[in-house]
Amino acid sequence: MISPEHWDDAGMVKRTMRGYSNINALIEKKKRVIDDIRIELQLADIDPTIYTVKDAYQRKYKKGIYEVKVSPYILDHWDAFVDYQVKIKKIADSTARQYRAAKSRIQLFEKENKVKLTFDSITTNFYDSFLYYMYSVRGCSPNSVGNQIKYMKAYMTWAVNKMKYTLNVAYKSFTKPRNPTQIFTLTKEQLDTLFFLDLSFDLRLARVRDMFCLCCTTGLRYSDVVRLDRANIKSDHIIINTKKTNDTAIIPLNDYSKIIVDKYPVKFPKISNQKMNDYLKQIGMLANFEEEHEVITFRAGVKEVTKRPFFELLTMHMGRRTFITQSLERGMMPSTVMKLSTHRDLKSFNLYINTTKGRIKHEVDQAWNTLSKDE
Protein backbone atom coordinates (compact mmCIF):
# COMPACT_ATOMS: atom_id res chain seq x y z
CA MET A 1 0.00 0.00 0.00
CA ILE A 2 1.28 3.48 -0.88
CA SER A 3 -0.45 6.51 0.62
CA PRO A 4 -1.77 9.14 -1.84
CA GLU A 5 0.70 11.78 -0.65
CA HIS A 6 3.61 9.70 -2.00
CA TRP A 7 2.31 9.80 -5.60
CA ASP A 8 3.17 12.57 -8.07
CA ASP A 9 0.98 13.92 -10.90
CA ALA A 10 2.73 11.67 -13.46
CA GLY A 11 1.68 8.51 -11.63
CA MET A 12 5.09 7.75 -10.18
CA VAL A 13 6.20 7.41 -6.56
CA LYS A 14 7.88 10.47 -4.99
CA ARG A 15 11.35 10.41 -3.52
CA THR A 16 9.77 10.79 -0.08
CA MET A 17 8.78 7.13 -0.26
CA ARG A 18 11.36 4.63 0.87
CA GLY A 19 12.41 2.34 -1.99
CA TYR A 20 10.82 4.67 -4.55
CA SER A 21 13.35 3.86 -7.29
CA ASN A 22 12.63 0.11 -7.25
CA ILE A 23 8.88 0.72 -7.19
CA ASN A 24 9.07 3.15 -10.14
CA ALA A 25 11.19 0.67 -12.08
CA LEU A 26 8.51 -2.01 -11.51
CA ILE A 27 5.80 0.41 -12.66
CA GLU A 28 7.76 1.20 -15.83
CA LYS A 29 8.24 -2.50 -16.53
CA LYS A 30 4.52 -3.20 -16.15
CA LYS A 31 3.69 -0.22 -18.37
CA ARG A 32 5.91 -1.60 -21.13
CA VAL A 33 4.28 -5.04 -20.84
CA ILE A 34 0.79 -3.57 -21.06
CA ASP A 35 1.76 -1.28 -23.94
CA ASP A 36 3.10 -4.30 -25.84
CA ILE A 37 -0.26 -6.02 -25.31
CA ARG A 38 -2.06 -2.89 -26.58
CA ILE A 39 0.01 -2.94 -29.79
CA GLU A 40 -0.58 -6.69 -30.28
CA LEU A 41 -4.33 -6.16 -29.98
CA GLN A 42 -4.30 -3.29 -32.46
CA LEU A 43 -2.33 -5.37 -34.96
CA ALA A 44 -5.03 -8.03 -34.58
CA ASP A 45 -7.76 -5.41 -35.25
CA ILE A 46 -9.04 -5.68 -31.66
CA ASP A 47 -10.02 -2.49 -29.87
CA PRO A 48 -7.63 -2.19 -26.86
CA THR A 49 -10.21 -1.35 -24.22
CA ILE A 50 -9.54 -1.78 -20.52
CA TYR A 51 -11.35 -5.10 -20.62
CA THR A 52 -9.65 -6.58 -23.69
CA VAL A 53 -6.19 -5.53 -22.44
CA LYS A 54 -6.90 -6.94 -18.99
CA ASP A 55 -8.16 -10.22 -20.44
CA ALA A 56 -5.14 -10.54 -22.76
CA TYR A 57 -2.80 -9.82 -19.84
CA GLN A 58 -4.42 -12.47 -17.65
CA ARG A 59 -4.30 -15.02 -20.48
CA LYS A 60 -0.63 -14.29 -21.19
CA TYR A 61 0.49 -14.32 -17.58
CA LYS A 62 -2.08 -16.72 -16.12
CA LYS A 63 0.59 -18.53 -14.07
CA GLY A 64 1.23 -15.41 -12.05
CA ILE A 65 0.42 -15.22 -8.37
CA TYR A 66 -2.47 -12.85 -9.05
CA GLU A 67 -4.40 -15.26 -11.26
CA VAL A 68 -8.08 -15.50 -10.35
CA LYS A 69 -9.52 -18.87 -11.34
CA VAL A 70 -13.11 -18.74 -12.52
CA SER A 71 -15.26 -21.79 -13.08
CA PRO A 72 -16.00 -22.19 -16.80
CA TYR A 73 -19.38 -23.83 -16.15
CA ILE A 74 -22.24 -21.41 -16.68
CA LEU A 75 -24.57 -22.72 -13.98
CA ASP A 76 -21.89 -22.22 -11.31
CA HIS A 77 -22.54 -18.48 -11.59
CA TRP A 78 -26.28 -18.43 -12.28
CA ASP A 79 -27.24 -17.77 -8.64
CA ALA A 80 -24.82 -14.82 -8.51
CA PHE A 81 -26.50 -13.49 -11.66
CA VAL A 82 -29.95 -13.70 -10.06
CA ASP A 83 -28.64 -12.02 -6.90
CA TYR A 84 -27.27 -9.20 -9.05
CA GLN A 85 -30.62 -8.80 -10.80
CA VAL A 86 -32.49 -8.72 -7.48
CA LYS A 87 -30.13 -6.48 -5.48
CA ILE A 88 -28.80 -4.15 -8.17
CA LYS A 89 -31.39 -4.15 -10.96
CA LYS A 90 -34.27 -4.45 -8.45
CA ILE A 91 -36.25 -6.95 -10.54
CA ALA A 92 -39.62 -8.14 -9.29
CA ASP A 93 -39.95 -11.35 -7.28
CA SER A 94 -41.91 -12.93 -10.13
CA THR A 95 -39.07 -12.19 -12.57
CA ALA A 96 -36.51 -13.65 -10.17
CA ARG A 97 -38.60 -16.84 -10.00
CA GLN A 98 -38.58 -17.03 -13.79
CA TYR A 99 -34.78 -16.73 -13.86
CA ARG A 100 -34.45 -19.54 -11.31
CA ALA A 101 -36.89 -21.68 -13.31
CA ALA A 102 -34.74 -21.05 -16.39
CA LYS A 103 -31.75 -22.48 -14.52
CA SER A 104 -33.76 -25.63 -13.74
CA ARG A 105 -34.61 -26.09 -17.43
CA ILE A 106 -30.93 -25.82 -18.37
CA GLN A 107 -30.09 -28.39 -15.69
CA LEU A 108 -32.65 -30.76 -17.23
CA PHE A 109 -31.16 -30.12 -20.67
CA GLU A 110 -27.70 -31.01 -19.33
CA LYS A 111 -28.99 -34.14 -17.61
CA GLU A 112 -30.92 -35.48 -20.59
CA ASN A 113 -28.13 -34.69 -23.05
CA LYS A 114 -25.33 -35.78 -20.69
CA VAL A 115 -23.40 -32.52 -21.07
CA LYS A 116 -22.08 -29.81 -18.79
CA LEU A 117 -22.36 -26.41 -20.40
CA THR A 118 -19.37 -24.06 -20.33
CA PHE A 119 -19.23 -20.45 -21.48
CA ASP A 120 -17.37 -21.51 -24.62
CA SER A 121 -20.06 -24.09 -25.49
CA ILE A 122 -22.82 -21.48 -25.85
CA THR A 123 -22.64 -21.49 -29.65
CA THR A 124 -25.09 -21.70 -32.52
CA ASN A 125 -24.86 -25.51 -32.25
CA PHE A 126 -26.02 -25.25 -28.65
CA TYR A 127 -28.82 -22.90 -29.74
CA ASP A 128 -30.09 -25.38 -32.34
CA SER A 129 -29.95 -28.37 -30.00
CA PHE A 130 -31.59 -26.40 -27.19
CA LEU A 131 -34.47 -25.33 -29.45
CA TYR A 132 -34.97 -28.94 -30.53
CA TYR A 133 -34.99 -30.06 -26.89
CA MET A 134 -37.49 -27.38 -25.81
CA TYR A 135 -39.85 -28.03 -28.74
CA SER A 136 -39.62 -31.76 -29.34
CA VAL A 137 -38.73 -33.13 -25.90
CA ARG A 138 -40.40 -30.65 -23.55
CA GLY A 139 -43.27 -29.73 -25.90
CA CYS A 140 -42.95 -26.01 -25.13
CA SER A 141 -44.69 -23.22 -27.02
CA PRO A 142 -42.63 -20.74 -29.07
CA ASN A 143 -43.26 -18.00 -26.51
CA SER A 144 -41.98 -20.21 -23.68
CA VAL A 145 -38.90 -21.08 -25.71
CA GLY A 146 -38.43 -17.41 -26.54
CA ASN A 147 -38.49 -16.49 -22.86
CA GLN A 148 -35.87 -19.15 -22.11
CA ILE A 149 -33.60 -17.73 -24.83
CA LYS A 150 -34.18 -14.24 -23.42
CA TYR A 151 -33.04 -15.33 -19.96
CA MET A 152 -29.98 -17.08 -21.40
CA LYS A 153 -28.99 -13.97 -23.36
CA ALA A 154 -29.45 -11.78 -20.29
CA TYR A 155 -27.21 -14.12 -18.31
CA MET A 156 -24.49 -14.20 -20.97
CA THR A 157 -24.57 -10.41 -21.29
CA TRP A 158 -24.03 -10.16 -17.53
CA ALA A 159 -21.20 -12.71 -17.69
CA VAL A 160 -19.43 -10.79 -20.46
CA ASN A 161 -20.01 -7.21 -19.32
CA LYS A 162 -20.10 -7.46 -15.55
CA MET A 163 -18.01 -10.42 -14.46
CA LYS A 164 -15.76 -10.90 -17.51
CA TYR A 165 -16.16 -14.67 -17.23
CA THR A 166 -16.00 -15.05 -21.02
CA LEU A 167 -15.37 -13.27 -24.30
CA ASN A 168 -17.74 -15.59 -26.17
CA VAL A 169 -20.43 -13.41 -27.74
CA ALA A 170 -22.01 -16.00 -30.05
CA TYR A 171 -25.17 -15.69 -27.92
CA LYS A 172 -25.85 -12.29 -29.49
CA SER A 173 -26.99 -14.03 -32.68
CA PHE A 174 -29.65 -16.07 -30.81
CA THR A 175 -33.16 -14.97 -31.76
CA LYS A 176 -36.28 -15.35 -29.67
CA PRO A 177 -38.90 -17.60 -31.28
CA ARG A 178 -42.32 -16.21 -30.60
CA ASN A 179 -45.80 -16.04 -32.01
CA PRO A 180 -48.03 -13.00 -31.89
CA THR A 181 -50.01 -13.06 -28.66
CA GLN A 182 -53.75 -13.07 -29.28
CA ILE A 183 -55.37 -10.13 -27.59
CA PHE A 184 -58.94 -10.51 -26.33
CA THR A 185 -60.71 -7.54 -24.76
CA LEU A 186 -64.21 -6.49 -23.78
CA THR A 187 -66.16 -4.18 -26.04
CA LYS A 188 -67.88 -1.16 -24.50
CA GLU A 189 -71.19 -3.05 -24.62
CA GLN A 190 -69.69 -6.12 -22.90
CA LEU A 191 -68.09 -3.98 -20.21
CA ASP A 192 -71.41 -2.27 -19.52
CA THR A 193 -73.16 -5.65 -19.44
CA LEU A 194 -70.76 -6.91 -16.76
CA PHE A 195 -70.83 -3.64 -14.84
CA PHE A 196 -74.62 -3.65 -14.49
CA LEU A 197 -75.04 -7.43 -14.19
CA ASP A 198 -77.17 -8.31 -11.17
CA LEU A 199 -75.03 -10.54 -8.93
CA SER A 200 -76.76 -9.75 -5.64
CA PHE A 201 -77.46 -13.47 -5.19
CA ASP A 202 -73.71 -14.22 -4.89
CA LEU A 203 -71.55 -11.62 -3.14
CA ARG A 204 -68.37 -13.54 -3.99
CA LEU A 205 -69.04 -13.22 -7.71
CA ALA A 206 -70.06 -9.59 -7.24
CA ARG A 207 -66.72 -8.77 -5.59
CA VAL A 208 -64.77 -10.49 -8.38
CA ARG A 209 -66.82 -8.61 -11.01
CA ASP A 210 -66.08 -5.32 -9.24
CA MET A 211 -62.32 -5.92 -9.09
CA PHE A 212 -62.27 -7.00 -12.72
CA CYS A 213 -64.23 -3.94 -13.82
CA LEU A 214 -61.88 -1.79 -11.76
CA CYS A 215 -58.97 -3.20 -13.80
CA CYS A 216 -60.96 -2.56 -17.00
CA THR A 217 -61.53 1.10 -16.09
CA THR A 218 -58.17 1.99 -14.50
CA GLY A 219 -55.60 -0.24 -16.24
CA LEU A 220 -54.39 -1.71 -12.94
CA ARG A 221 -52.73 -5.12 -13.00
CA TYR A 222 -54.01 -7.89 -10.75
CA SER A 223 -50.82 -7.56 -8.66
CA ASP A 224 -51.76 -3.95 -7.92
CA VAL A 225 -55.53 -4.18 -7.58
CA VAL A 226 -55.13 -6.99 -5.01
CA ARG A 227 -52.90 -4.66 -2.93
CA LEU A 228 -55.25 -1.72 -3.25
CA ASP A 229 -56.02 -0.03 0.06
CA ARG A 230 -58.18 2.91 1.05
CA ALA A 231 -54.95 4.85 1.60
CA ASN A 232 -54.38 4.64 -2.17
CA ILE A 233 -57.57 6.63 -2.82
CA LYS A 234 -56.73 10.33 -2.79
CA SER A 235 -59.76 12.50 -3.49
CA ASP A 236 -60.64 11.66 -7.10
CA HIS A 237 -57.48 9.66 -7.94
CA ILE A 238 -55.92 6.26 -7.33
CA ILE A 239 -52.24 6.64 -6.46
CA ILE A 240 -50.27 3.42 -6.14
CA ASN A 241 -46.68 2.26 -6.53
CA THR A 242 -46.88 -0.56 -9.06
CA LYS A 243 -45.43 -3.88 -7.99
CA LYS A 244 -44.06 -4.97 -11.38
CA THR A 245 -42.24 -1.81 -12.50
CA ASN A 246 -41.95 0.13 -9.23
CA ASP A 247 -43.51 3.17 -10.95
CA THR A 248 -46.07 5.43 -9.31
CA ALA A 249 -49.39 5.23 -11.15
CA ILE A 250 -51.68 8.25 -10.77
CA ILE A 251 -55.08 7.36 -12.22
CA PRO A 252 -58.10 9.69 -12.16
CA LEU A 253 -61.34 8.04 -11.08
CA ASN A 254 -64.09 7.94 -13.72
CA ASP A 255 -67.81 7.18 -13.65
CA TYR A 256 -67.14 3.42 -13.51
CA SER A 257 -64.23 3.27 -11.10
CA LYS A 258 -65.68 5.82 -8.69
CA ILE A 259 -68.84 3.73 -8.20
CA ILE A 260 -66.73 0.62 -7.53
CA VAL A 261 -64.39 2.40 -5.11
CA ASP A 262 -67.35 3.85 -3.19
CA LYS A 263 -68.74 0.31 -2.71
CA TYR A 264 -65.80 -0.54 -0.43
CA PRO A 265 -65.41 2.25 2.16
CA VAL A 266 -63.32 0.09 4.53
CA LYS A 267 -61.27 -2.39 2.50
CA PHE A 268 -61.14 -3.93 -0.97
CA PRO A 269 -61.60 -7.66 -1.69
CA LYS A 270 -58.46 -9.83 -1.61
CA ILE A 271 -58.86 -12.94 -3.77
CA SER A 272 -56.19 -15.05 -5.46
CA ASN A 273 -55.60 -14.56 -9.18
CA GLN A 274 -56.47 -18.18 -9.94
CA LYS A 275 -59.76 -17.99 -8.05
CA MET A 276 -60.67 -14.72 -9.72
CA ASN A 277 -60.01 -16.21 -13.16
CA ASP A 278 -62.20 -19.21 -12.29
CA TYR A 279 -65.04 -17.00 -11.03
CA LEU A 280 -64.77 -14.69 -14.06
CA LYS A 281 -65.70 -17.59 -16.33
CA GLN A 282 -68.82 -18.20 -14.23
CA ILE A 283 -69.68 -14.50 -14.46
CA GLY A 284 -69.13 -14.57 -18.22
CA MET A 285 -71.60 -17.45 -18.54
CA LEU A 286 -74.17 -15.48 -16.54
CA ALA A 287 -73.58 -12.52 -18.88
CA ASN A 288 -74.21 -14.80 -21.90
CA PHE A 289 -70.77 -14.22 -23.43
CA GLU A 290 -71.27 -17.23 -25.70
CA GLU A 291 -69.79 -15.90 -28.96
CA GLU A 292 -67.10 -18.25 -30.21
CA HIS A 293 -63.55 -17.08 -30.95
CA GLU A 294 -60.71 -18.83 -32.71
CA VAL A 295 -57.88 -19.51 -30.28
CA ILE A 296 -54.44 -20.26 -31.69
CA THR A 297 -52.00 -22.32 -29.62
CA PHE A 298 -48.68 -23.97 -30.37
CA ARG A 299 -47.69 -27.36 -29.04
CA ALA A 300 -44.12 -28.46 -29.71
CA GLY A 301 -43.99 -25.72 -32.32
CA VAL A 302 -47.09 -26.98 -34.16
CA LYS A 303 -49.96 -24.54 -34.65
CA GLU A 304 -53.38 -25.61 -33.39
CA VAL A 305 -56.63 -23.69 -33.90
CA THR A 306 -59.65 -24.30 -31.68
CA LYS A 307 -62.91 -22.47 -31.07
CA ARG A 308 -63.91 -21.42 -27.58
CA PRO A 309 -66.76 -19.33 -26.17
CA PHE A 310 -65.75 -15.86 -25.03
CA PHE A 311 -66.57 -16.52 -21.36
CA GLU A 312 -63.81 -19.16 -21.24
CA LEU A 313 -61.26 -16.54 -22.29
CA LEU A 314 -61.96 -14.11 -19.43
CA THR A 315 -58.95 -13.48 -17.16
CA MET A 316 -57.96 -10.68 -14.81
CA HIS A 317 -55.24 -9.57 -17.22
CA MET A 318 -57.91 -8.93 -19.85
CA GLY A 319 -58.98 -6.01 -17.68
CA ARG A 320 -55.76 -4.08 -18.27
CA ARG A 321 -55.90 -4.81 -22.00
CA THR A 322 -59.54 -3.70 -22.10
CA PHE A 323 -58.65 -0.39 -20.44
CA ILE A 324 -55.90 0.37 -22.97
CA THR A 325 -57.99 -0.64 -25.99
CA GLN A 326 -61.13 1.14 -24.77
CA SER A 327 -59.20 4.30 -23.85
CA LEU A 328 -57.82 4.55 -27.38
CA GLU A 329 -61.19 3.79 -28.97
CA ARG A 330 -62.82 6.45 -26.81
CA GLY A 331 -60.41 9.04 -28.21
CA MET A 332 -57.63 9.30 -25.62
CA MET A 333 -54.11 10.11 -26.82
CA PRO A 334 -51.72 7.10 -26.80
CA SER A 335 -49.18 9.12 -24.76
CA THR A 336 -51.81 9.75 -22.08
CA VAL A 337 -52.83 6.09 -21.95
CA MET A 338 -49.16 5.04 -21.69
CA LYS A 339 -48.72 7.38 -18.74
CA LEU A 340 -51.76 5.94 -16.98
CA SER A 341 -50.69 2.34 -17.64
CA THR A 342 -47.02 3.14 -16.77
CA HIS A 343 -45.76 1.69 -20.05
CA ARG A 344 -42.28 2.96 -20.89
CA ASP A 345 -42.07 2.02 -24.56
CA LEU A 346 -44.41 1.58 -27.51
CA LYS A 347 -43.29 -1.97 -28.25
CA SER A 348 -44.67 -3.37 -24.99
CA PHE A 349 -47.63 -0.97 -25.07
CA ASN A 350 -48.72 -2.23 -28.52
CA LEU A 351 -48.94 -5.79 -27.17
CA TYR A 352 -51.98 -4.71 -25.15
CA ILE A 353 -53.99 -3.13 -27.95
CA ASN A 354 -56.87 -5.03 -29.54
CA THR A 355 -58.25 -3.13 -32.50
CA THR A 356 -61.82 -4.41 -32.74
CA LYS A 357 -63.74 -5.21 -35.91
CA GLY A 358 -66.14 -2.38 -35.12
CA ARG A 359 -63.35 0.17 -34.84
CA ILE A 360 -61.73 -1.04 -38.06
CA LYS A 361 -65.05 -0.87 -39.96
CA HIS A 362 -65.75 2.63 -38.60
CA GLU A 363 -62.37 3.92 -39.76
CA VAL A 364 -62.66 2.22 -43.17
CA ASP A 365 -66.15 3.68 -43.61
CA GLN A 366 -64.88 7.16 -42.78
CA ALA A 367 -61.95 6.82 -45.16
CA TRP A 368 -63.61 5.06 -48.12
CA ASN A 369 -67.38 5.52 -48.02
CA THR A 370 -67.07 8.91 -49.70
CA LEU A 371 -68.80 8.39 -53.04
CA SER A 372 -71.46 11.00 -53.64
CA LYS A 373 -74.75 9.59 -54.87
CA ASP A 374 -75.28 12.75 -56.90
CA GLU A 375 -72.25 12.07 -59.10
Instruction: Quick: pLDDT tens for 334-371.
Output: 888 888 988 878 777 777 666 656 667 777 777 787 77
Higher pLDDT, 322 or 244: 322
Burial classification of residue 143, based on how many CB atoms lie within 10 Å of its CB (0-12 exposed, 13-18 middle, 19 or more buried): middle
The per-residue DSSP string of 269-303 comes to: ----HHHHHHHHHHHHHHTT---EEEEEEEETTEE
13, pLDDT greater than 90: no
pLDDT value of residue 269: 94
Average pLDDT, the chain: 87
23 within a domain of the structure (yes/no): yes
48, pLDDT greater than 80: yes
Please give, one letter per residue, the 3-state secondary structure of 214-231.
Answer: HHHHHCCCHHHHCCCCHH
7, pLDDT greater than 60: yes
Q: How sure is the predictor about 139, in pLDDT bands with cuts at 50, 70 and 90? A: confident
339 within a domain of the structure (yes/no): yes
102 within a domain of the structure (yes/no): yes
- Kindly state whether residues 311 and 224 are assigned to the same domain: yes
42, pLDDT greater than 90: no
- Kindly state whether residues 214 and 356 are assigned to the same domain: yes
CATH code (residue 327): 1.10.443.10
283, pLDDT greater than 70: yes
Q: Which of 8-12, 67-71, 230-234 has the lowest mean pLDDT?
A: 67-71
% residues pLDDT > 90 (the chain): 48
130 within a domain of the structure (yes/no): yes
- Kindly state whether residues 9 and 144 are assigned to the same domain: no
pLDDT value of residue 348: 75
Q: How sure is the predictor about 65, in pLDDT bands with cuts at 50, 70 and 90? A: very low
- Kindly state whether residues 239 and 193 are assigned to the same domain: yes
85, pLDDT greater than 70: yes
| pLDDT digits 0-9 by tens, 172-230 | 999 987 766 778 899 999 999 999 999 999 999 999 999 999 999 999 999 999 999 99
Higher pLDDT, 90 or 348: 90
Q: How sure is the predictor about 109, in pLDDT bands with cuts at 50, 70 and 90? A: very high
Q: Which range in 18-27, 150-159, 333-342 is most confidently predicted, on average pLDDT? A: 150-159
- The domain boundary, picked from 149, 173, 197, lies at 173
Q: How sure is the predictor about 264, in pLDDT bands with cuts at 50, 70 and 90? A: very high
pLDDT value of residue 276: 96
Higher pLDDT, 124 or 245: 124
134 within a domain of the structure (yes/no): yes
- The domain boundary, picked from 142, 173, 204, lies at 173
- Kindly state whether residues 213 and 137 are assigned to the same domain: no
pLDDT value of residue 346: 79
- Give mean pLDDT, residues 282-299: 88
% residues pLDDT > 70 (the chain): 93
- Kindly state whether residues 56 and 83 are assigned to the same domain: no
- Kindly state whether residues 205 and 167 are assigned to the same domain: no
65 within a domain of the structure (yes/no): no
- Kindly state whether residues 107 and 224 are assigned to the same domain: no
235 within a domain of the structure (yes/no): yes
CATH code (residue 108): 1.10.150
Q: How many domains does the chain have?
A: 3
Q: How sure is the predictor about 53, in pLDDT bands with cuts at 50, 70 and 90? A: confident
- Kindly state whether residues 237 and 332 are assigned to the same domain: yes
- Kindly state whether residues 200 and 328 are assigned to the same domain: yes
- Kindly state whether residues 194 and 343 are assigned to the same domain: yes
- The domain boundary, picked from 37, 60, 83, lies at 60
Structural domain for 146, as ranges? 74-173
- Kindly state whether residues 55 and 99 are assigned to the same domain: no
223 within a domain of the structure (yes/no): yes
